[in-house]
Each structure stands twice: as C-alpha cells, then as structure tokens.
Amino acid sequence: MQVTAQNTKPESLILVIFGGSGDLTKRKLVPSLYQLFKQGKLPHRFAVLALGRTDYTDDSYRPHLDEALQMYLAEGEYDASLAEQLLSSVYYLAMDPAEQSDYPRLVERLSQLDKQIDNPANYIYYLSTPPLLYGVVPQHLKHVGLNSEEGGALRRIVIEKPFGYDLASALELNEIYRSAFQEHQLYRIDHFLGKETVQDIMALRFANGIFEPLWNRNYIDRVEITAVENMGIESRGGFYDQTGALRDMVQNHLAQLVALTAMEPPVQFNADLFRNEVVKVYQSFRPMSDDEVRRRVIRGQYTEGEWRGELHRAYREEDKVAGNSRTETFVAMKLYIDNWRWQGVPFYIRTGKMMPTKVTEIVVHFKPTPHKMFTSLDGGTVPNQLIIRIQPDEGISLKFAAKVPGSGFEVKKVSMNFTYDQLGGLASGDAYSRLLEDCMLGDSTLFTRSDAVEMSWRFFDPILRLWQEDDFPLYGYPAGTWGPKQSDLIIERDHSWTNPCRNLTNSELYCEL
C-alpha cells in the first residue's frame, strides 16, 4: 500500500460556518481552528465568516467564541493573546440560511472580506446547522453562484452527519448536492474517521504482517464493537428525539468502524481506493428479513437510574423530549458480512447513552485452540482477544494464555499492552482539527463518499421502517447500566458482551484494557 503525494493548502481562504451560534461551532470547530492556528496550519491569509439568525455583530460575537475556547480547550491550552489573534479574523453575518433572499448579502460580505484579505474567492462552507437545512443551503449557494469553481476558485462544502433521515432522504440529498457541486467538492464529515486511533486500525492491519493472515473467518470467531457514553442527551433533546441512536451513531460512526475492521487492503491509500473498499464492505452487509431484525436488533431507552450515586432522570423526562417518546437511546445488533473473508463471522455492535462509562473499543475474538491440554485458572479456555481501544485510554491489547509459574501446568490470561501515550501527540479535539485540515488540503480520504452513504442506508433503512410498527419492542434500561438484558441474548452460544469496566459501585470507575 502506498500513501499518495500530499495535497497543498491554499494561500488564502474564508471558512464560512453556517450555524455560527450553534453548539458544535463552540464545542468543536472553534477549538479545532485554535489548534490549527497554534500549529501554524491555517492558510496565510485566512478568515472565518460565521452565519446565523442570532443578531450578533463581529464585536458582540467574538467574546462568545472566546468564552467557548476557555471552556472547551483542554486544561492549560488557552492562551489569551493567541485567542485574540485568531478571533480578530472571525466575522459574523446575521442572516437566515433558509432564506434565499438573504444570500446576496452573503455574496456582498464575502467579496468585502476577499478584498480585505486578498482572497481569490476561495471558500469552504461548513454546515453546522440542524439537518433540516442540509438540503436548502446548497441550492441557495448555487442560486447566487457560490458553488462554482469556475475561474479556479476553491469551493468546498463540509456536511455534518446525519446525512439523511432514511434511505429516501439520503438519496434525495445526494441528488441535491450533485446538482449544485461535484463529488470532489463534497466533504461529508464523520468525526470518528478523524480520530488517530480509528486511523490506526489501518496501520495495525496493513502496516504489519502478523495480523492479516489471521484476519478472516478461519481464525476469528466474532468481532464486537462498542461505542457507549456515560452521558445523556444534555441540551440536545430537540435534535435527539427526532434522531435516535441508530441515525446518530450506528448508520455512520459504527458502520465506519465495521468497515475499517472488515475492509480489504486498498492498493494505495488515497481517497478513491480507500473509499472503494469501504463501500464494498457496506455492499456485503447481509440484509435482514423482518424476522431477523426482530431477533438480532435490540433497541432500548434509558429510564431513571443511579449513576455514581446520583439519580439521573429518565430519557422521557429530559428537556424537549416527548413524554411518550419511543426514540431509542441504545442499539445492539448482530450483523453478517457476506464475502469471502467474513462468511459466518458475527459482528456485534452496540451504542448507548447513559451507560456506566464512556468507551469505544473493538474486540476481535480469535477461535480457541482445537484441543484443550491445560487447566485454566480463569475457568474454561483462555480467550485470545485483540482489543483496540479507540477511547479513552487509547491503546491496543492482546490477551493470551501463559503458564502460571510453579509446579504443574496451569495457565492464566495475560495481556500485552500498547498505549498511545507512549507515542505522544494525542490531544483531545484532534479529530475535527485533522478533518478541517484535510478539507483545506483537498484530501477527502477520511470523508464519506455519496455511494457509501447510500449503501449504508440501504442496510439500516429497513430496520428503521420496522421500528415504526407499534409492536416492535423498545426496552427500558436504568441509566447507569449496560443496556437492556435482551441485548445479551443476541450473542450466540455462551458468550457475552465484553463490558470493559469494573468496580461499578465505586466512585472511581476502572476501565480495564
């Protein structure tokens, strides 16, 4: 596999953020821009134009971002003078992104800024708005000619997830984007792909000779992928109740993790070849009949429960959530990949809010030895597992059996561990910085291509449709637990989910890698 040549960054650029007063801008985008600025990675002549309906001016907007930087940068990272320098290149335009008649004002403001920073109309648009606007903005941009790269201007658009509400709306959105932009201008962002540890799945698999020969149905028994969180929905009730865990986490983030774990090695590491392999994985997801969905997919919603000694309210009691909501905050499912490599190997994936801890990890379970010669102190056969911990305590751990010293021949489970902090440079907020930088560089490898969105929806859409039927169970689970018990039943034989935390009753959770 070869990594293709580096793309180049433009000399000048305006980043136009739709949804300038929104949560994502404050929590992620501006802190990421700060990181890039600090590392000297922004173009020489650079400005941000944030848009929104709130009536800010440049001067009244900047202090909000300054506050956000102080709140969301990691401890010790905030430097007042650096923040001031960055924020002096941030501008605000009060406009309604849904109103076509507001766009000429955008054109005008952009051309003023172009003159100010000597920018040849290079723009990156970032859609950090409610998903309802995803279809509207590109059409309005096209109407005023802000989509076109004619004359050599750089025009790219970054779209947040979820891209589509179901298959039909995703297809429709793809159509709208195709009519206004070309695929190379589109950057559908999935911030999981910006995580170092997610990218490292490819290094682990394709930069090492030892794992790949084992990475198939002959040696792997099953794969588990868990991405759970110990928080509820915080202030996002309005969005979340319309979305649910499947659209928020499974159709995109978890599907990407499955793809990276299961994909064939691309011939070169470039946008087209890498994403071709992702699409092939999605194409191989075995469709489920209604009956299989009922047996293999479990959805849940958190009820009132205790977490670290505090009572957390039920999902239905959260702000802006319907009192009789049937939106899922937990999903677990078993899926199969119908191809040569993975035939018959179950992939168990799950995600949930208000679980005992926040952890994202992939557990690859290898098949046991064909014949048991030694007694294991852990009981049964010592499992051989490769655990890829995406976050927190990022690392990789290999579990195997070793002889217990002394007489006799007993064995016990031991672990070989690698932790990323040995390498340094793994700062929080990195995912968005990395992806913003890639977008400036014109490298779309880590962004989702239209055919991948479509293929992923083709698999998940029938599940959502079946869920609309009243009799499809929605199981409650008390906040602070590992989800509905029914999710244990989808795992075959005598196996169970690998729940990585112990000492749940103590105030200090201990996450074992």
The alpha helices in 88-195, defined as continuous H runs, are 103-117, 136-143, 167-180
Bridge partners for 511 per DSSP: 501
The count of residues interacting with ligand BG6 (CB under 6 A) is 3
For position 229 contacting ligand BG6 by CB under 6 A, the verdict is: yes
> Are 198 and 321 in contact, with CB atoms under 8 Å apart?
no
CA distances from 438 to 129, 413, 435, 466 (A): 21, 42, 5, 38
Which residues in the 344-373 window bind ligand BG6 by CB under 6 A? Answer: 360
Tokens encoding 3: 């990594």
For position 438 contacting ligand BG6 by CB under 6 A, the verdict is: no
80 vs 231 by CB, closer to ligand BG6: 231
Residue whose structure tokens are 């290149």:
89
253 vs 399 by CB, closer to ligand BG6: 253
140 vs 253 by CB, closer to ligand BG6: 253
C-beta nearest to ligand BG6: residue:
248
How many helices, marked H, and strands, marked E, lie in the chain?
Answer: 15, 22
d(CA 442, CA 212): 31
> Are 279 and 459 in contact, with CB atoms under 8 Å apart?
no
> Are 173 and 135 in contact, with CB atoms under 8 Å apart?
yes
Q: How far is the CB of 513 from ligand BG6 (least distance, A)?
A: 17
CA atoms within 13 A on the CB side of 230: 15
360 vs 397 by CB, closer to ligand BG6: 360
Binding mask 459-488 for ligand BG6 (x = CB under 6 A): ------------------------------
> Are 355 and 482 in contact, with CB atoms under 8 Å apart?
yes
CA atoms within 13 A on the CB side of 458: 14
Q: How far is the CB of 343 from ligand BG6 (least distance, A)?
A: 31
Which residues in the 276-295 window bind ligand BG6 by CB under 6 A? Answer: none
Query: What does the DSSP 8-state code read for residue 183?
Result: G
256 vs 360 by CB, closer to ligand BG6: 360
Which residues in the 137-176 window bind ligand BG6 by CB under 6 A? Answer: none
Length of the chain: 513
Q: How far is the CB of 15 from ligand BG6 (least distance, A)?
A: 20
Binding mask 315-344 for ligand BG6 (x = CB under 6 A): ------------------------------
Q: How far is the CB of 143 from ligand BG6 (least distance, A)?
A: 30
> Are 436 and 32 in contact, with CB atoms under 8 Å apart?
yes
For position 58 contacting ligand BG6 by CB under 6 A, the verdict is: no
3-state secondary structure 232-250: CCCCCHHHHHHHHHHHHHH
Q: How far is the CB of 214 from ligand BG6 (least distance, A)?
A: 28
Q: How far is the CB of 416 from ligand BG6 (least distance, A)?
A: 26
360 vs 384 by CB, closer to ligand BG6: 360
Residue from 248, 318, 361, 394 touching ligand BG6 (CB under 6 A): that is: 248
Catalytic residue numbers?
253
93 vs 435 by CB, closer to ligand BG6: 435
Tokens encoding 204: 């682990």
Give the binding site for ligand BG6 (CB under 6 A).
229, 248, 360
